[in-house]
Amino acid sequence: MEFCNSKLPRCHTNSIFWKIFILFSAIFLLRALFLSPVPFFHWLQQSGSWTPDYSSSHQHAVRRDKFLEVPQIIWGLNNQKIAFARACLTAALLNRTLLMPNLSASLIYKEIDLLKPISLDKIFNFERFNSLCDGFVRLGRYSDLHNRTDPFVLRKGSGRKWSKERDLNQLYQCKEGSIDKFEVIKVDGKHPFLWHDHWPVMSYARIFECLTLVDEIEADVSAVMSRIKAKGSYFGNNLSMSVSSQISFPCMAIHMRIEKDWMLHCKNLEERSNIHQICSSKKEIMDRVARIKGLNFPIVVYLAVADSLLEDNSILRGWREGLLPFEKKRLGVWNIYTKHPYLIQSAIDYEVCLRAQVFVGNSFSTFSSLVALHRTQILVKMGVRSICADSIFASYAYNILGDFGAPKKWMTDMSAPSLHTLSYGTNNISCQV
């Protein structure tokens, strides 16, 4: 073999050539990695999480020949929505279509055998979800499967030793060829709501925006809202309208968490966390709501409560003059709710709270937290960054004392790196993004 002597002119020239070639190749590679837009999402190395790149105009299609299957989703409506979103984002990380999961129509979560499964498309519009979330995440049906291979069973870890880092590493391993070749990755184990959270609030917000009710349930929402509007007109409600009437209507909606299951939960939570801003009595809620500034009276107040778990029959009594409280029976919509299982009843209440001109909830309730998140997203898209100064489409947390003895104004921190505070509650809320 002939070796080149660097003292010879020809060899020296070749050496310079290769050095220049390697240098330009390295520059080209670095430019491609750091300056070129990456379609669909980019990695956030510092936080160990990832977020979709909404600014990119070129989004690739999610694979339609690879799927992720998850267990039946359980617990309350909004815990189920979080679980669904987490499953969607897991599928997106793996660049797979999520096989449409079953939700749970009933609220029994300790006895799995008693749960009543209900297909997600019985509540949320399947086609519209895929249209609104196109290029971000995708839902598929079991009829889309070719069943060419048995599924790869992915067992989610649990316990204290199963860290967020180990969970994310497990997902990365599923992107490798030996596992990625399987048509279906089937998750076996923990409920999706309890999976580790690797995604920022904005990613969840995008999923929630794509969840729209099927026409039949939307019609029931419209019927409930019409009854509220009629009551407002009858009593001469003149609350000013400053946002689209399709988004809001003149009404205050209160997610009044005083049911027996909640009172037990919140008292235990206060003891464990040493935070005494979680439980609120009926009287405390009424007193604080009466002190909200900037409202024109009289105003209809819709009380969103889980009637079957309510032990207090006096929730309509004791309100300040000018606050006109209504619950399902007094409003005359009891028949609309009772034809549905718990999950759909909760979905109707969620939409009423979302669209009301004023919303008041509990910052340690997942239901209230997701309503506040959704309302914040609407305001952000309208260019509103703060509701500190007035009550336009405002949200409040009655469990936290605000100015002048009123409930504290509430906007969600849309830059939060995870959904942890919304999932489990917080007393650290603000009136600006």
Domain boundaries, the chain: 67-208, 213-424
CATH fold label, 213-424: Rossmann fold (3.40.50)
Confidence (pLDDT) at 400: 96
Confidence (pLDDT) at 37: 34
Confidence of residue 316 (pLDDT cuts 50, 70, 90): very high
pTM of the model: 0.83
431 Cβ neighbours under 8 A, 6+ residues apart: 386, 387, 388, 408, 409, 410, 411
Indicate if the alpha-carbon torsion angle 196, 198, 202, 203 is positive or negative.
negative
253 Cβ neighbours under 8 A, 6+ residues apart: 301, 302, 304, 352, 353, 356, 358, 359, 360
Confidence (pLDDT) at 10: 47
In angstroms, rounded to a whole number, what is the distance separating the alpha carbons of residues 411 and 415? Answer: 12
In angstroms, rounded to a whole number, what is the distance separating the alpha carbons of residues 14 and 12? Answer: 5
140: three-class secondary structure by DSSP: strand
Confidence of residue 21 (pLDDT cuts 50, 70, 90): low
The DSSP call for residue 188 is E
Confidence of residue 296 (pLDDT cuts 50, 70, 90): confident
Q: Tokens 């995604």: give the residue.
A: 199
Mean pLDDT throughout 372-399? Answer: 90
Mean pLDDT, the chain, rounded, equals: 84
- CA-CA distances (angstroms) from residue 268 to 119, 272, 274, 367, 401? 33, 6, 10, 19, 21
Half-sphere exposure of residue 183: CA atoms within 13 angstroms, side-chain side: 11
Kindly tell me if the per-residue pLDDT of 216 is higher than 60.
yes
Confidence of residue 3 (pLDDT cuts 50, 70, 90): very low
**254: β partners:** 303, 360
Confidence (pLDDT) at 389: 79
In angstroms, rounded to a whole number, what is the distance separating the alpha carbons of residues 279 and 266? Answer: 5
Confidence (pLDDT) at 8: 42
Kindly tell me if the per-residue pLDDT of 367 is higher than 50.
yes
Mean pLDDT throughout 72-98? Answer: 96
Confidence (pLDDT) at 385: 87
The pLDDT tens digits for 54-71 are 333 335 689 999 999 999
Confidence of residue 243 (pLDDT cuts 50, 70, 90): low
Confidence of residue 236 (pLDDT cuts 50, 70, 90): low
The pLDDT tens digits for 93-127 are 999 999 999 999 987 655 666 678 999 999 999 99
Closest alpha carbon to 250 in 343, 347, 173, 358: 358
Confidence (pLDDT) at 259: 81
In angstroms, rounded to a whole number, what is the distance separating the alpha carbons of residues 88 and 171? Answer: 13
Confidence (pLDDT) at 54: 38
- Among the ranges 37-41, 108-112, 299-303, which has the highest mean pLDDT value? 299-303
Confidence (pLDDT) at 134: 96
Half-sphere exposure of residue 114: CA atoms within 13 angstroms, side-chain side: 7
Confidence (pLDDT) at 322: 93
Starting from the edge strand earliest in sequence, which strands make up the sheet with 139-140, in order? Answer: 139-140, 97-99, 67-69, 184-188, 152-155
